[in-house]
């Protein structure tokens, strides 16, 4: 699986958009980009995933660059409950594969 | 149940004892993963089951660790002769056999070896 690079921490004001970047410059054509988050003392929670098109769901938007070497997770209106560690993962889409979690980005949403 | 269930939620054991951690995946999910998370660290992959295929054990840290999955459903992670460095949160996840679906995680078992 390709590796990802994320900033270790970011701050965001409550109510503002949080934009979390991820670099995956060695991503290959059959790898999806997944985002998970982990709130303190809980199991990781799925947020969104995509291959090459931008994706949006009720939680967030995922913007993937045209060359697919980087992506941005957008939380449109961050709340204090969005404070968590956010993990960007690339995962080969074939049978018998696993999720590799890196160090993630600790997002601190401040009032 | 609706989600991945793990038991016990907390386990304190004495060094040298064996422990068994249980994971009940979401019904119908063929893939099951075990991860370990030490305090303040990221998730460390341990083992992965997919259907009836041989499991991917590449992440198990030593031969004291083993896991089985009976009947393609419930999984048990066993740690023999526990050591203090085994103290961590052990997380289980499951996913369906569709190739690009997400994995759903349980709340984990917090293991403390004293």
**pLDDT of the residue at B100:** 64
Residue B84 DSSP SS3: helix
In A43-82, the residues whose Cβ lies within 8 Å of chain B are 43-46, 49, 51
Burial grade of B2 (CB within 10 A; 0-12, 13-18, 19 or more): exposed
User: What is the pLDDT averaged over residues B21-48?
Assistant: 92
- Whether A104 has its CB under 8 Å from any CB of chain B: the answer is yes
Between chains, do A34 and B4 touch, taking CB under 8 Å as contact? no
Beta strands B65-69 and B10-13, pairing class? unpaired
Tens-place pLDDT, residues B59-73: 999 999 999 998 879
Mean pLDDT of B3-23: 97
Give B94 to chain A, closest Cα distance, Å.
11
The number of angstroms, rounded, from the C-alpha of A75 to the middle of its chain's C-alpha atoms is 10
**Could you tell me how many CB contacts below 8 A there are between chain A and chain B?**
49
DSSP labels for chain A?
----B--SEEEEETTS-EEEEEE-TT--TTEEEEEEEE-TTS--EEEEEESSS-EE-SS-EEEE-TTSSEEEEEETT--GGG-EEEEEEEEE-SSS--PPP---EEEEEE-
How are beta strands B19-24 and B44-50 bridged, if at all? Answer: unpaired
How far is B32 from A94, CA to CA, in rounded Å? 15
Residue A7's closest CA among A72, A54, A66? A72
Tens-binned pLDDT, residue by residue, of chain A (111 aa) = 558 999 999 999 999 999 999 999 988 888 899 999 999 888 999 999 999 999 999 999 999 999 999 999 999 999 999 999 999 998 876 655 678 888 899 999 999
Q: Largest Cα–Cα distance in chain B? A: 41
Whether residue A102 and residue B42 make contact (CB cut-off 8 A), yes or no, is: yes
B contact residues 56-85, partner A, Cβ 8 Å cutoff: 56
Using CA atoms, how far residue A17 sits from A59, A74, B11, in Å, is 12, 7, 40
Does A93 contact B at CB distance below 8 Å?
yes
Residue with tokens 């991917």: B56
Query: Residue B39: its pLDDT value, please?
Result: 87
Residue B105 forms contact with A (CB below 8 Å): yes
The strand order across the sheet containing A31-38 reads A9-13, A105-110, A84-92, A31-38, A45-50
pLDDT given at position A99: 80
- How far does the CA of residue A15 sit from the closest CA of chain B (Å)? 27
Which phi and psi angles does A40 have, rounded to 5°?
-45, 130
Dig out the tokens for A6 from the structure: 């994320």
Contact residues on chain B for A45, CB-CB shorter than 8 A: 105
Calpha distance A43→B105 (Å, rounded):
6
Residue B55 near residue B46, CB atoms below 8 Å: no
Q: Among partner residues A32, A44, A98, which is closest to B48 by beta-carbon distance?
A: A98
Location of structure tokens 């992506």:
A71
């Amino acid at each position: 699986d390709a590796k990802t690079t994320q900033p270790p921490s970011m701050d965001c004001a409550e109510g503002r958009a949080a934009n979390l970047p991820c670099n995956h410059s060695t991503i290959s054509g059959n790898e999806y980009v997944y985002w998970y988050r982990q709130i303190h003392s809980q199991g990781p929670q799925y947020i969104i995933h995509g291959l090459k098109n931008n994706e949006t769901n009720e939680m967030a938007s995922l913007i993937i660059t045209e060359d697919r070497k980087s992506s941005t997770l957008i939380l449109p209106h961050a709340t204090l409950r969005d404070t968590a560690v956010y993990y960007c993962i690339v995962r080969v889409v074939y049978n018998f594969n696993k999720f590799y979690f890196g160090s993630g980005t600790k997002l601190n949403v401040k009032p | 149940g609706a989600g991945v269930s793990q038991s016990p939620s907390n386990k304190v054991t004495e060094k040298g004892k064996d422990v068994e951690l249980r994971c009940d995946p979401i019904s119908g999910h063929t893939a099951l993963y075990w991860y370990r998370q030490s305090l303040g660290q990221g998730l460390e992959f341990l083992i992965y089951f997919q259907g009836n295929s041989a499991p991917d054990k590449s992440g198990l840290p030593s031969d004291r660790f083993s896991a089985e999955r009976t009947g393609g459903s419930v999984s048990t992670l066993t740690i023999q002769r526990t050591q203090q460095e085994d103290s961590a949160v052990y997380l289980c996840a499951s996913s369906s056999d569709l190739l690009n679906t997400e994995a759903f995680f349980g709340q984990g078992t917090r293991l403390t070896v004293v």
